[in-house]
Amino acid sequence: MPFGLPTTNPSVASVPPGPADRRASRRSATVRAGGLSLAAVLLASGATTAAASSAVAADTEAVAQDAFSRELGDGWGPAQQGGTWSDDESGAWYYVTGGAGRHTVGSGVTAASLLHDVSRTATDTRTTVRTNRAAGAGPAVYASVLGRAVPGAGDYRARLVVTWEGGLELRLAQAGTTLASVPLDAGYAPDANYEVRLAVTGTSPTTLRAKAWPAGSAEPDDWQVETTDGTPGLQTAGEVGLSTYVSKADGDVTVTYDDFDADAASPESEAPAPAPAPAPAPAPAPAPAPAPAPAPALGELRDPAEHPFASSAVWNTAVGSGARFEQTWDTRTRTFLSGTPVVNSTRWSIAVFQARSSDPVATVTNTKTGDVHKVRIPSGTTATYGTDKHVGIIEPDGRTAWEFYKMTKVGSTSWTTTRVVKTDLTGDGMKDGSRASGVSFFAGLIRAEELQDRSIDHTLAVGIPNWMLKEGQVWPARTEDGDSSWAYSGTIPMGTMLAIPASVDVDALDLSPEGRALARALQDYGAHVLIRSSTVALYAESGVDPAQAAALHADFRKLYPLMRVLTNNTPETVAGGGQRRAGTLPGLQP
C-alpha cells in the first residue's frame, strides 16, 4: 500500500468543510443550566418531549475531541484532547488530510484507532463518517464508533454499515457481534457525510443507544436502536476510538472520520428516591437454605474409548463466565484469523482403531530408540495420508491406548514408528503425547460416533502454521516443535486457547447439523493450539463419514472468523474460570 498522500482521487483527498459551529451545536443538547443538564431541566419542568426521552445527561467536560486539523501521512498523531491515537499495525493505512482522519483498508483488513488515555464507563461519543465505496452492490463497509473498549476483553460500538446490497444500517455490537440493528431510511450515497452518535452508560448491564443521520440535517429526537448487555469483562471503564472493516473488496476502500467528540456521560436522570417506608416488624429468621447441589452430570457414564479423559481434565472443562477475549484487531487474534481454515480427516489427521483380544499381536519398532513394542493391531489398520502418519490403537480393555507417529507397515504384523506413547484414557491426557505440544493426540480429536450424534462435548485441537506460531509454549501445552527457535515466526504460542465468545448467537447461523455441533463445541469448550500445520486445521479421526467431514469443513469456514484468543486460560482459571457454559461431564465407565 503506498504511503504518500493521495492526490488523484478527489473523494479521498478532500472533505467538504462542515459548519463552523458544528461542535458547538453538538454541545447544546447537554449544556448545563444551574448545574443541571438540559435533559434534567426538561424532566423537572414536566416536559415530555421526544428530545428529553432521547437525551443522555452528560457532563459538559469533554474527555476527547479531534477536528483533525493537521496533515500526517503515517498515523493519526495526537488528538486535540484525549491523548495520542494508537493506530493498530494491521496493514491498513492511517493518515490525516483535508481536516479528517482516514483509514484506507483492503479486503478483510481491520483498522482501529484508540485513545488509550481515556478511561470511562459512561460516554456520549459522536463523529462524522464518510466512505468512497461505490453505490449499489459491493463490499460491506463497517465504520465503528467505540464507546467503551476494554483491552483484552472487547468493546461496545455503534457500527454504520454499508451492506452488500448497498443499503445503510446502524448496528450496536459487542466487538464484531451484532446485538441490535436497524435499517436507515436515509440510504447510502458515496462520499456523503453521516453523523453517528453512541451513548454507553451503566454496568451489569450496560445500556447502549445509537443514532445516525445525514450530516446537515436535524439530529433525530429519539435513539434509533437500543439494547443492554452484560458481557463479563466489559462492565468496567474503557477507552474510546474508531474502527473500520471492509469485507471482500476488490481494491482499497477509504473511510473518513471528522469532528470526533466524546463526552463523559451519566445515565439518564433518575426519579428522586421515594421516602423510606416505615420499617416492618422483624420477621422470624428463615431457616438456612440448603446448600446448592453440584452441577448435574450430563447423561450416562462415558466410554473412555469414545470420549476419553477424566471429567476434570482441561479438555473436558467448559468455557467459564470469567473468560476474557481479545478483539479482532489484537495481535494474536488478528494473526489467527489470517489463515486458511480446514478440517483434516483422512489426510494429516489421526487414524484410530479399537483392538480386540482376537487381533494379532504385532511388533512396533521405534526406529529412533530401537525399542520394540508388542501391540494388538487390527489387520485393517492404515495410517492417514501425509507424512505425519498418526495412528492410535485402543487396547481391548478400552482404557489404554497407543499413540504412534510416522507409523509404517513393513510386514503382515510388523510396523515401524518414530514416536511411541502409551496413554491412560481415564487420566488427564497431560502426561505425554505424539504431538509437538506434548499432550495426548486424543485430546481435541473429533470422533466418528460423536459426529454421528451431532454432539461434541470437549475442547478441540487446532493446528496453525509456522508463521503464526511463537516460540515458548503456554499451558496446557508441555512442549513445542524442536525447530521452534528458528522455524516459528509468529505471535501465537503452542497451547493458546481460542473460542467463540458467548455473545455470538451461533443458533442464528446457517449451519448444517454437523456445523451446529461444531459451533457449540467451539463456543462451549473452545480449542487449543496443539500442533503445527500448513493451514488453520481442526482434526477429525479418519473414520468419520466423508459427507459429515465435508459438512464440517464447509461450516468451519463460517465459524472461523468468529473465534477469538481467550486470554486468561491458566491452571488456576481453566478456560477463564467462573460459571461453566456446560455442566460437569459424567464419569467414565468402570
Domain assignment of residue 14, yes or no: no
Residue 152 has what pLDDT?
Answer: 76
Could you tell me if 190 and 132 are in contact, meaning their C-beta atoms sit under 8 angstroms apart?
A: yes
Sign of CA dihedral 339, 343, 347, 353: positive
Same-domain pairing of 235 and 331: no
SS3 call for 548? helix
CA distance linking residue 390 with residue 381, whole number of Å: 11
Domain assignment present for residue 1? The answer is no
Same domain flag for 82 and 141: yes
Whether residues 206 and 340 share a domain: the answer is no
Q: Which domain holds residue 177?
A: 57-265
What is the domain count for the chain? 2
The reply to whether 487 falls in a domain is yes
Cell of 253: 476502500
Q: Could you say which of 265, 281, 302 is where a domain stops?
A: 265
- Give the DSSP letter string of 350-404: EEEEE--TTSPEEEEEETTT--EEEEE--TT--PPBSSS-EEEEE-TTSSEEEEE
| Three-state DSSP string of 162-214 | ECCCCCEEEEEEECCEEEEEEECCCCCCCCCCEEEEEEEECCCCEEEEEEEEE
* β-bridge mates for residue 589, sequence order: none
Radius of gyration of the chain, Cα coordinates, nearest whole angstrom: 28
- Name which of 586, 569, 585 is nearest 320 in CA terms: 569
Rounded CA gap, 251 and 76, in Å? 22
53 phi/psi in degrees, rounded to 5 = -70, -25
Same domain, 220 and 324: no
Task: Determine, yes or no, domain membership for 279.
Answer: no
**Quick one: 461 and 548 in the same domain?**
yes
Q: Is residue 584 one of the residues assigned to a domain?
A: no
Quick one: pLDDT at residue 268? 43
Q: Examine residue 385 and state whether it is found in any structural domain, yes or no.
A: no
Are residue 219 and residue 331 in the same domain, yes or no?
A: no
Q: Which of 234, 211, 11, 212 is nearest to 102 (CA)?
A: 11
Global pTM value? 0.54
Q: Do both 464 and 556 map to the same domain?
A: yes
Is residue 468 domain-shared with residue 553, that is, in the same domain?
yes
CATH number at residue 209: 2.60.120.200
Residues 435 and 523 in one domain: yes
Domain boundary among 265, 300, 322: 265
Whether residues 258 and 325 share a domain: the answer is no
Asked if residue 243 and residue 337 are part of one domain, the reply reads: no
Say if 333 falls within a structural domain: yes
Q: Give yes or no: residues 437 and 512 share one domain.
A: yes
Task: Tell me which of 232, 249, 265 is where a domain ends.
Answer: 265
Q: Is residue 585 part of a domain?
A: no
* The 3-state secondary structure of 1-47, one letter per residue: CCCCCCCCCHHHHCCCCCCCCHHHHHHHHHCEECCEEHHHHHHHCCC
Query: pLDDT of the chain along its 590 residues, tens only?
Result: 333 333 333 333 333 333 333 444 444 333 333 333 333 333 333 333 333 334 444 445 789 999 999 999 999 999 999 999 998 756 788 999 999 999 998 877 788 999 999 999 999 999 999 999 999 888 889 999 999 999 877 899 999 999 878 899 999 988 766 788 899 988 899 999 999 999 999 999 999 999 999 999 999 999 999 999 888 888 999 999 999 988 766 789 999 999 999 998 765 433 333 444 444 444 444 444 444 334 434 446 889 999 999 999 999 999 999 999 999 889 999 999 999 999 999 889 999 999 999 999 999 999 999 999 999 999 999 998 888 999 999 999 999 999 999 999 999 999 999 999 999 999 999 988 888 999 999 999 999 999 998 999 999 999 999 999 999 999 999 999 999 999 999 999 999 999 999 999 998 999 999 999 999 999 999 999 999 999 999 999 999 999 999 999 999 999 999 999 999 999 999 999 999 999 888 888 87
